[in-house]
Structure 1
Amino acid sequence: MNYSEKYYSFIDLEKLKSKYFDDRSLISGNFDKIIVIGIGGSSQGSKAINSFLNEDRVIYFDNLNFYFINKTLNSINLEKTGFIFISKSGATSEILTLFDYLVGELENKINISNHFFTITEIKSSPLHDLSVHKSIGIIEHDKDIGGRFSIFSSASMIPGFMFNEKFVTSFFIGAEEGESGDRMALAVEKAKLITSPVLKNINAILVYGDELIETANWLKQLYAESLGKKGEGFMPVVSQMPQDQHSLMQLYIDGPKNIFFEILSMQYRESNFINLTLNNHRDAMFSTLKQQDLTITPLGKIQEFSEKSISTLGEFFYAKMVEVIQLAEILEIDPFTQDAVEIQKNFLK
């Protein structure tokens, strides 16, 4: 079925916006900080939003890092901190481990029923049932929206705009701009690259502006999990620039010719020497890739983001999800499954 003929709940913007405002009201408490306990798509969307906004009041426990977790707990005012656990299935091993650990560490220090919140499907699962047992508030995770496609759902919107709700309307306005664009040409462009006789199977995402690193990481997951099936897809690699110019540029320019490039760039308001030098390096890299006849997508352009222009970010997220769906149609694969991930889970003890 063609993309335009099918309904996708994760881009039903009016429904998602309405649900977000309803769900947001369920997070009670006057918190100075929020800790998000999620992994992969459960946390990456909101992490990209907060990074773009330079919001440091939202902290992420999105890996099993004992030292970082304890250092953080010892450095914050627990009475002014909320904890949001996110797992669509309610059975994510890492989240259950962190839930158990944090309950054990904190239930004698704070009233966890006032400080802990869970976003998960409303069905029996370890996380759902433990939350009920501990009288922890539960916000429903839409059963039809997977993690990497959840950027406009409450799972990403609540932690993403916890301290910046004034930007929510602009974020959705930007998404509507992405809705109006024709993305098929971009999908066809990538399909030709990864299926042509001169195979391009590595996508180097060059990031100029640290605010966009987590956006690139979101894109990496979207590409890899949605398209890496049945021998199809490509390997996305995130490069923090200009730092990686001093480690990877030699290979990028003169190594194997199976690499194609995307450039994400911040446009800063302040015209200082640091920002000017960053832009100079970006322009020099762009010109180098062009001069060496190396492929830049989309359509040979730099993807630019104005500082604090959250509408641009909303448009980007929407457009990339649509592009991936259309690319999956061309490749005749299902972008919403990730069956190979289950192989590793079978070995967990």
Structure 2
Amino acid sequence: MIRIDFSNLMQGAIGKNGLTDDDFKSIDTKKITEIIKTRKYPELEFLDLHNADTSKIKELGKYAGRFENFLLLGIGGSALGPRSILEALSPFHNFKNKPRVFIYDNVDPLTLKNMLEVIDLKKTVVNVITKSGSTAETIASFMIIWKKLQEQSLKIQEHIIVTTDPEKGNLRKIVKDYSLMSLPIPQGVGGRYSVLSAVGLLLAEAIGISSDTLLNGAKDIHDKCMNTDLWQNPAYLFSSGLYLMQKIKSKNITVMIPYADRLKPFSEWFCQLWAESLGKDGKGLTPYPSVGTTDQHSQLQLWMQGPEDKVVVFLSIEDYGVDVNIPEIFLDMEGLSYLSGHSLGELIRIEQEASEIALAKNGRPCITIKIPKIDAYYLGQLFHFFEIATAVAGFLYDINPFNQPGVEEGKNLTYAMMGKKGYEAKREEFIEYRQRKRFEA
């Protein structure tokens, strides 16, 4: 089981900048528990994903795994979640394994051009993911791929797997009209909470990662995160600690720093989850992704002596699954020989702990999440833990952690300028903005 060490949030460890036990008395766990128990928000359906039937996902995963290439079209949680699974559990995948995986999320035309130059569509399965079926970026790339499949006289039904709403939306209609292979995203599961649905699990199965193992990890931490006792519930404590750090100590920034290259995409997944769920009504916490030890040499100075507005969250790995010894050479050079006889695994673990100690010594708060090893089981735990913790944080801020009203305005303006019917007024607004006098240098 992953373990969460909150010691360095407390006054006993970091002095006046820390919290006291009494500070946590303001946390109304009964209210949180009631929201979850009554399913006040339908989007809490993500809590049930660890019990889902994965037979269809396995069937299509096996089918997709026979192709040379797996091209995923999606954005936001539809890309960040699958990429987190890929990089954490199969690093350098495309150099060693098949199917090679390509994830196209941003609509940078050069990126798509380069992808299409290195993949043969005849040997490619395409997974298009959008819950609504109307995400402009994903649908645009889907339309381009659809046309290219037609131009090569390839059977659309053999090359496209759609992951979308089970009943409604443009993609669901296309699935029915063209008899395409498809997987449902449960209606009560939002995009950024969907990694443990078909959104992430199809890719996992296609590259040989057990969806059952990912879900078993989620299942095993679930009950612990449903405990009504604040001090026995790691998700409640994580959310409450960061919430109180902002309310009492003005710590507005959450730094996520895994000490493993494989978890850098996971930190990016967390940032979308945390930012889009909590940033509403002038409330929320600003996340940013880092990776250790790299960012000790670019960011740690700021965390140590810059503005006192951050809580650093370390992801500490106990077993990297492999280690590399540092050879006993240059023994006559004191500046180098101290490393001889040690290993890279030892060095990275010590550097993580050293950063933790340095921050605490300087009165800078941090949390350490201890992960026994990076595998499907513990990754499933991490996904489920952070999703629950994020939802709980939203309840503490008294906001809806499942919507994204601030994103809709930009979408509507985009629809207007791309000619979607019903958005004519927004088009006029867009044109008026372009005509304003600019202050440029």
| TM-score under structure 2 length normalisation | 0.72
The one-letter code of the counterpart of 1:168 is: S
The one-character-per-residue Cα deviations of 1:108-162 (angstroms, maximum 9, x if unpaired) are 2232221111111244533334444554323222221101111221122112332
Corresponding residue of 1:153: 197
* Residue 136 of structure 2 is aligned to residue 93 of structure 1: yes
Query: What 5-or-longer segments of structure 2 have no aligned partner?
Result: 1-30, 95-99, 225-232, 327-343, 418-441
Corresponding residue of 1:59: 102
Corresponding residue of 1:254: 305
* Residue 233 of structure 2 is aligned to residue 190 of structure 1: no
Alignment of 1:211-226 (within 5 A): 211-226=262-277
Contact 1:90/1:121, CA 8 A, preserved across alignment? yes
Find the structure with the greater CA-based Rg: 2
Among 334, 338, 341, the alignment partner of 2:400 is 334
Corresponding residue of 1:304: 371
Alignment of 1:1-349 (within 5 A): 2-7=34-39, 8-13=44-49, 15-16=51-52, 18=53, 20-26=54-60, 28=63, 30-54=66-90, 55-56=93-94, 57-109=100-152, 110-123=154-167, 125-165=169-209, 167-181=210-224, 182=233, 183-196=235-248, 198-266=249-317, 267-272=319-324, 273=326, 274-297=344-367, 301-307=368-374, 309-348=375-414, 349=417
The one-letter code of the counterpart of 1:118 is: V
Query: C-alpha distance in 2, partners of 1:228/1:129?
Result: 33
The one-letter code of the counterpart of 2:74 is: G
Residue 336 of structure 1: how far off its partner (Å):
0.9
The one-letter code of the counterpart of 2:266 is: T
Contact 2:277/2:390, CA 8 A, preserved across alignment? yes
The one-character-per-residue Cα deviations of 1:38-97 (angstroms, maximum 9, x if unpaired) are 100112222111111124432211111222222222222433321000000000000111
Cα separation, partners in 2 of 1:102 and 1:31, compared to 1, 3 Å: same
Contact 1:50/1:161, CA 8 A, preserved across alignment? no
Query: C-alpha distance in 1, partners of 2:347/2:112?
Result: 36
Contact 1:96/1:126, CA 8 A, preserved across alignment? no
Residue 311 of structure 1: how far off its partner (Å):
1.1
Superposition CA RMSD, Å = 2.1
Contact 2:256/2:289, CA 8 A, preserved across alignment? yes
Residue 261 of structure 1: how far off its partner (Å):
0.5
Query: What 5-or-longer segments of structure 1 have no aligned partner?
Result: none
Contact 2:277/2:402, CA 8 A, preserved across alignment? yes
Residue 206 of structure 1: how far off its partner (Å):
1.4
The one-letter code of the counterpart of 1:149 is: Y
Residue 179 of structure 1: how far off its partner (Å):
0.8
Residue 205 of structure 1: how far off its partner (Å):
1.0
Query: C-alpha distance in 1, partners of 2:285/2:119?
Result: 41
* Count of aligned positions: 341
Point out the structure with the larger helix share: 2
Query: C-alpha distance in 1, partners of 2:370/2:376?
Result: 14
Residue 332 of structure 1: how far off its partner (Å):
1.0
Contact 2:80/2:269, CA 8 A, preserved across alignment? yes
% identical equivalent positions: 25
The one-letter code of the counterpart of 1:191 is: Y
The one-character-per-residue Cα deviations of 1:180-226 (angstroms, maximum 9, x if unpaired) are 21232222211101211x30101111121111011111111111111
Per mean C-alpha deviation after superposition, the further-off stretch among 198-207 and 64-73 is 64-73
The one-letter code of the counterpart of 1:275 is: G
Query: C-alpha distance in 1, partners of 2:174/2:388?
Result: 36
Query: C-alpha distance in 2, partners of 1:190/1:203?
Result: 8
Contact 1:11/1:152, CA 8 A, preserved across alignment? no
Contact 2:78/2:195, CA 8 A, preserved across alignment? no
Which 4+ runs in 1 deviate beyond 6 A? none
Residue 21 of structure 1: how far off its partner (Å):
1.6
The one-letter code of the counterpart of 1:306 is: K
The one-character-per-residue Cα deviations of 1:279-316 (angstroms, maximum 9, x if unpaired) are 3322221221121111112xxx2433513x22111111
Report SS of the residue matched to 1:161.
Answer: helix
| TM-score under structure 1 length normalisation | 0.90
